[in-house]
Amino acid sequence: MPTRLSPRLAAVVNALPLQPHSRVLEIGCGPGAAARAVAARLTTGHILAIDRSATAIAQAEAAATDEIASGRMSVRQSAGEDFVLRDHEEPYDIVFAVRVGALDGRHPEDGRRVLQRIAAATTAEARLFIDGGDPLRELLIPRA
């Protein structure tokens, strides 16, 4: 069943530079609507949707049974500032976040920690997108 997205989330997903093989990380996935829409565009790729809220992760997991069963999507409870790759987990090449205070300037200290975590969990060519542009803006991932 196709995911029904708000026009705003549809614009976000459409603006991502997705390839069928992309490895995508969504920070702050909420109930997972955008993640499901991304998963629908992947063939050999994968999206990991994370959120600090156990309720949001339960909702995302319940709504994405087909995407998870196909191997194109997984969900994990984690705050962006606590996220680390698991053993044998490949790094991500696209990261996006919608309405995440740590990345939109509302919580600058958390933002620095999230950016460090993103840098450690992504490829050297990875790109980070947040809302607040038209419809997205790209943030630089700090590399040591």
Residue 2's pLDDT is 52
The three-state secondary structure class of 94 is strand
Mean pLDDT over all residues of the chain? 95
| Cβ-based burial of 143 (10 A; exposed 0-12, middle 13-18, buried ≥19) | exposed
pLDDT tens-digit series, residues 52-69: 999 999 999 999 999 999
pLDDT band at 143 (very low <50, low <70, confident <90, very high): confident
pLDDT band at 51 (very low <50, low <70, confident <90, very high): very high
Nearest to 24 by CA among 60, 72, 64: 72
CATH 3.40.50.150 fits 7-139, yes or no: yes
Cβ(10)–Cβ(53) below 8 Å: no
What is the pTM for the complete model shown?
0.96
Q: DSSP letter at 141?
A: P
pLDDT band at 4 (very low <50, low <70, confident <90, very high): confident
Whole-number percent of the chain with pLDDT over 90: 90
Per-domain residue ranges for the chain?
7-139
Residue 1's pLDDT is 45
Query: Is it the case that residue 80 has pLDDT exceeding 70?
Result: yes
Dihedral pair phi/psi, residue 95, rounded to 5°: -125, 135
Query: Is it the case that residue 3 has pLDDT exceeding 70?
Result: no
